[in-house]
Each structure stands twice: as C-alpha cells, then as structure tokens.
Amino acid sequence: MTVRITISLGRKRLNDGEVGSGGQNSAGQAQYIYLPTANGPMPIAAVINGATFAVHSDHLNTPRKLSNASGQPVWQWSYSAFGEDKPTLAKNRFANLEVTPNPGTTNIADVKFNLRYPGQYSDEESGLFYNGYRTYIPTLGRYTQSDPIGLDGGWNRFGYVNADPLNYLDEDGLQARPPRAAVGPLSVSYGESVAAGQVSGLLSQIRRYDPSFTYDVVRPSRGSGSGYSRADVNILGSLLRGYERNQTCPRDGVQPGRLIGDQRGNVMVEPVGGRTVPRGPGGVDTHTLYPNGSNYMRLNPVGHANNPTPNGHGHAMGTGSGMSGQGPSLSPTGNIVPFTSSDAHWPIN
C-alpha cells in the first residue's frame, strides 16, 4: 500500500499577483508518494510538474537523493550538522552555489523538492522548515518556538532531537525518537566527516553564548580514533543544552560563570566567582561552589553508600563549605525540596 499526498507549491501573494497553483507565478504542483514502514512513512516517489522521480531515503526516511525516469541523479541533500546545507542540483553540476556561484550548467532539467527531515517541509522564502506543531531553523539547529509543554519536555525547550539528527527524528515537532525499526542501541556509523560537521555546528551554537569557548580533546594525530566521533557530538550537545538552559531558564538568581561537563555529557553550572572542586573518595565526585564556598551543584557518578544510583544535586546558597554549610536541596526546576525526596536526586548519564 502506498499513500499519495498532493501539495500545491503556489502561494497567493498580493504584491506580485500570484494566485496559487496555476497562477502566473506559481511554482507548480508536487505529489509525494509514501510507503508505510515500521519506522513511519517513507517517501519513495515524487511527481513534480508532471515528471516522475524516485526518492532515495536514508535510515530515518529523510530524502537524500532524487533520480529521474532515466536513473540520473537530479537532486541531492548531503549530510550536514543540522540540515543547514542547501540541496544541490544536477543542473548546476551539484555545486554549492554559495561557494561556486557560476559552476556552469547541464542539460538536466531543474527540479524543486521541498521535503527535508521526516515531517518537515522547506519554505524557500523564509529559510525555515515547517515541522508540524513547530518551525525548525536549520542554521541554528533548533526550533523557533518553545516546547508546547514547557519544561516538562526537558530543559532545552527549543532543542531538536537532542542535537543528534543523524540518529533521531521528530515528525510533528513534539517528541524526539529513534527509528522504530532499531533493535537495541543505535548503530549508525558516525563517519568522521559527519561527526566533524556536527561538531562544527555545535561549536558555532555554543559560541553564541560563550565566544571564547574551545573544545580540545587528546587523541591520536592520525589513524583510527584521530577524528571526531559520536562521543564528541554527545558531549557538545549536552554542553549546548546546558548553555541554553541557563540562558533561558535562570534559576535561584545564580549567574552562570562556566559550564562544567564530564565524559558522559553531564553538565553543571559554576557560578560567577565560584569554583569547581573534586570531592568524595579519590575525588570521584565533582562539586561546583558558590563564591562563599558552599555547594551549588554536586555530581555523584557512583551515587552514595546507601544508594549506588548515579545522581546529581543542587543547593541554595548556604553558609560555608562542607555538608554542614550547604543550603537547602533544590529540584531540577530550582524549587526547595526535602533532601530525602526524589526531586532532590537529579537523574544523570
């Protein structure tokens, strides 16, 4: 069974006299044909202005290439950090026109194809992707509207698929999910070029909050393990969510100075004028401190003696250093809660 959806590409705009599909400036009409799969509808064909094209989709059902009736590739959308790269056309020798504005042309006809990540439709005029309940801006890798359920949907109310569009999808702008066909942990190969593209995109977003941010890792200079990997993408994605969380949801009147992250992607805030110190047996725990030395956030990756579950904690400003000097416990949303409550024990990676 296939599903056929028809979308009119024309728009009524009073300033140029366009009156919709069939008008003097209409972009024409497209029909998209989907194949139902375990992972949701997969676009397999498109009829654009009467011409039929095969749609080649990836593991998330994202269209990556169109070929014409002769089997020639005519359109492609390469992998980039967050979908910010524009599609390229055979008509222009698959050149990036922003880099090479005059690449020459071929005799293959132009084609306009507006599907992007699953559930998304690209609007050429605004540069945005319509995504069901929200609108996605690929140059920033985030939604332009906050999550409709607020902080119940997570700290980052504007984030798209946990900053990992290679392994997750969100067809309606409400909830990220992995492919339904996936069994066990996701095993999509992170080629170094894909990881490097995502790292580059994440760094540019983080530097909007902290222009001096640098990311240095120790690894071999060449050979296996020398390039960026999914681990780097996960760490930077968590750091970005931390910056966005503390930029848009300031809590407790604390002014963030630095974000402190670990290898698992957990992020804590070090207040301005405060510091970060190791604690616990062998320094396994990490604490960020207020300027007066009292605990602000605590990261306990091996839990406590009576509860080995990894967890984090937050505290209002206390009177001084140590457990005796720390303030009341805080929930993840900044409310004072009993120190024995589940809200006082934050889930961590």
* Sequence-ordered alpha helix ranges (H) in the chain: 192-209, 230-248, 322-325
CB atoms within 10 A of CB 155: 16
Look at strands 295-300 and 285-289 and give their pairing. antiparallel
pLDDT digits (tens, 9 = 90+) for 202-239: 787 777 777 777 776 545 444 554 567 766 776 677 67
Amino acid at 196: A
pLDDT in the model for residue 26: 57
Give kind and range of the element (H or E) at residue 32: strand 29-37
Token pair belonging to 309: 């579950």
Angle between helices 192-209 and 230-248 (to 10 degrees): 20
Report d(CA 88, CA 66) in Å as an integer. Answer: 11
DSSP H helices, 21-94, are none
In angstroms, rounded to a whole number, what is the distance separating the alpha carbons of residues 46 and 6?
Answer: 10
Strand order through the sheet with 29-37: 3-8, 29-37, 40-48, 51-57, 63-67, 73-76, 88-89
CA-nearest of 170, 184, 195 to 60 is 170
Nearest to 152 by CA among 345, 337, 332, 310: 332
- Mean pLDDT for back-to-back runs of 10 residues, the chain (349 residues): 44 30 63 88 93 93 94 91 90 86 89 95 93 92 90 81 86 88 47 69 74 64 58 70 54 65 73 86 86 89 81 87 85 81 83
Question: How far does CA 112 lie from the centroid of its chain?
Answer: 26
The residue to which tokens 């880099």 are assigned: 99
For the chain, how are helix, strand and coil distributed in percent, rounded to 5? 15, 30, 55
Which residues touch 27 (CB under 8 Å, ≥6 apart)?
9, 10, 11, 112
> How far apart, in whole angstroms, are the C-alpha atoms of residue 3 and residue 31?
10
Cα–Cα dist 113/46, whole Å:
9
Q: Say which residues have a Cβ less than 8 Å from residue 284's Cβ, sequence separation at least 6.
A: 278, 301, 302
Check residue 126 and give its pLDDT: 92
Q: Counting Cβ atoms within 10 Å, is residue 293 exposed (0-12), middle (13-18) or buried (19+)?
A: middle
Separation between Cα atoms, residue 82 and residue 201, nearest integer Å? 7
What pLDDT shows up at residue 199? 79
